[in-house]
């Protein structure tokens, strides 16, 4: 476990931070946790969270992996992108309010250009989900988002 606030590990803010805690991380993997709150941005009327939000929980765990490594190396946390997912499978349609979910992300590939693949698993009481996430962390992410640049220059 580390003591870094999630807001210092993720390029998200406020209610968009969906995970609660980084439990552990090393060179190849991360483990995070979230307790489903009944009043979140993506909750259904009954307070449960649609299972498809599990992809975002996995993606934020991968982002926290990158953030932990950046902080550990004294670098700034950088923006990354979820490019897509393959083989998302979940045995439930929603995660009930109050459910404690554990997310495990294992890096299976990352190249020098910032492309990466993570095998992710989300588990809880009677809940199992998995997916392979394709991610991209550009070397200079700010350049990708700078709308003020003239594309002809």
| Confidence (pLDDT) at 80 | 87
Which parts of the chain register pLDDT below 50? Answer: none
Domains in the chain, please, with CATH? 6-140 (3.10.129.10)
Question: What are the tens digits of pLDDT across the range 10-20?
Answer: 877 777 889 99
Q: For strands 127-136 and 115-124, give the pairing.
A: antiparallel
pTM: 0.89
| Confidence (pLDDT) at 141 | 63
| Confidence (pLDDT) at 149 | 57
| Confidence (pLDDT) at 1 | 53
Only one residue has tokens 């992410």, namely 141
Tokens of 132: 């392979």
CA distances from 31 to 5, 141, 148, 151 (A): 15, 25, 38, 40
CA distances from 138 to 82, 86, 111, 135, 151 (A): 12, 21, 11, 10, 18
Asked if 137 and 87 count as a contact pair (C-beta separation under 8 A), the reply is no
């Amino acid at each position: 476990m580390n003591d870094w606030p999630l807001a210092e590990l993720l390029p998200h803010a406020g209610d968009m931070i969906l995970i609660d805690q980084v439990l552990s991380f090393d060179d190849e993997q991360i483990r995070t946790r979230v307790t489903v709150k009944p009043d979140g941005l993506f909750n259904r009327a009954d307070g449960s969270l649609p299972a498809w939000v599990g992809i975002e929980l996995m993606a934020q765990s991968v982002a926290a992996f990158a953030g932990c490594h950046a902080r550990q190396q004294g670098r700034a946390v950088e923006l990354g992108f979820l490019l897509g997912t393959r083989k998302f499978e979940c045995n439930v349609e929603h995660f009930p309010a109050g459910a404690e979910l554990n997310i495990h992300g294992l890096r299976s590939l990352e190249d020098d250009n910032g492309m990466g693949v993570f095998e992710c698993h989300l588990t809880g009481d009677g809940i199992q989900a998995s997916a392979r996430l394709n991610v991209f962390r550009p070397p200079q992410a700010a350049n990708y988002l700078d709308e003020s640049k003239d594309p002809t220059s």
